[in-house]
Structure 1
């Protein structure tokens, strides 16, 4: 049994290392419009919007330059709380976040932590709050697709 657990942990680590725990979509829009669309869908779906942090603005205030980058922090306690009941350390990564930024080539991305990474990081078993895990995963993907203009699946994954 110990060998099986060890092998599964190694396999999980390999998968997570490959994806780096992040996923997202390339946006058809600029950072401002992508952020606006994300906020729009969050409000429409009744998700709590906690904060939009403008990293570029913060950099400028410090006399530095940074390509456009905004972090949108949002959540739904009906989904997040059951997951934190599985592992309260998940509160370190909740509420959810999505980074919308322009890369060095001028391409705009909407990036988020994957469910697989979060569950692995906090040691949450697949059967603990399984419905919340599924809802969180489905919601973050849908929000990213909407924000980036990729709802019909024709969009480019990051």
Structure 2
């Protein structure tokens, strides 16, 4: 079962009085143009849009300024399932995601490729990885895009893990309630990978991906590190069943992702890690 919606922000226009702001406006226009091309390509490729998130405009609505950044998350269960069958933890980096963003006043496009999944999750199914990459490149065709860095990546890099005796349905319910009990959080969607796999004739353990974000704290964390919008701001929380009947919860270490993309991290990244870990641990105790 899939539940999703698009988070859209109104695009406003305003007069610009300085060359710096004019340049920023020009980059925002380019970021928007690239993003709209991506949305069109996703539909043409037959994939399912999951979430369209405008980091910068959502942050600005909360009084936080950051570079232009928009992430598109889209899915194809037939492609996801063979990857999850080999390692369900790969669901933390599924489904597809592409980021259109401003890096130092230059519009760029970044994406998570099959090599990232292979290294981070120890995948060996070449056919499944090639199919993932082919669909991704079909969407990116004609666009100047670069994959997320993998030179410093290793197995389980930047994965924070918590364990609970609660079942997956109970853990998901409690985590969702805890997340949305915070007044600075926006819900982006939920994907039940196990149900999607069953429709492909594949049995997976209960596996659910939760998508949410905090525009204000996320905007602060991304202000000098916009590329982490590929994995942060829309926080991905994967919950899957363990062999004892309980559940495992994994999510991204935001500081580790900043270091992967930029070679350094900042206090807001570590602060968010502490907040998220505390919130999730309390929810599933």
What SS does structure 2 have at the residue aligned with 1:51?
strand
Residue in structure 2 matched with residue 5 of structure 1 by the alignment: none
Unaligned runs of 5+ in 1: 1-12, 150-158
Residue in structure 1 matched with residue 247 of structure 2 by the alignment: 108
Residue in structure 2 matched with residue 60 of structure 1 by the alignment: 198
Q: Is the 8 A contact 1:37 1:146 kept in 2?
A: no
Answering whether residue 164 of structure 2 is matched by residue 27 of structure 1, we say: yes
Determine which structure has greater relative contact order: mean sequence separation of CA pairs < 8 Å that are 6+ residues apart, divided by chain length. 1
What SS does structure 2 have at the residue aligned with 1:86?
coil
TM-score (norm 2): 0.43
Deviation string, structure 1 residues 42-75 (Cα, Å, up to 9, x no partner): 1111221211111101101222111000111111
Quick check: which has more Rg, 1 or 2? 2
Deviation string, structure 1 residues 63-98 (Cα, Å, up to 9, x no partner): 211100011111101111122221221111021111
Residue in structure 2 matched with residue 41 of structure 1 by the alignment: 178
Residue in structure 1 matched with residue 217 of structure 2 by the alignment: 79
**Cα distance in structure 1, aligned partners of 2:280 and 2:156:** 17
Deviation at 1:105, TM superposition (A): 4.9
Answering whether residue 269 of structure 2 is matched by residue 133 of structure 1, we say: yes
Q: 1:124 to 1:76 in 2, by over 3 A?
A: farther
Q: Is the 8 A contact 1:35 1:147 kept in 2?
A: no
What SS does structure 2 have at the residue aligned with 1:66?
coil
Q: 1:87 to 1:116 in 2, by over 3 A?
A: closer
Deviation at 1:109, TM superposition (A): 0.5
**Cα distance in structure 1, aligned partners of 2:243 and 2:165:** 16
**Cα distance in structure 2, aligned partners of 1:126 and 1:118:** 8
**Cα distance in structure 2, aligned partners of 1:56 and 1:124:** 36
Q: Is the 8 A contact 2:255 2:265 kept in 1?
A: no
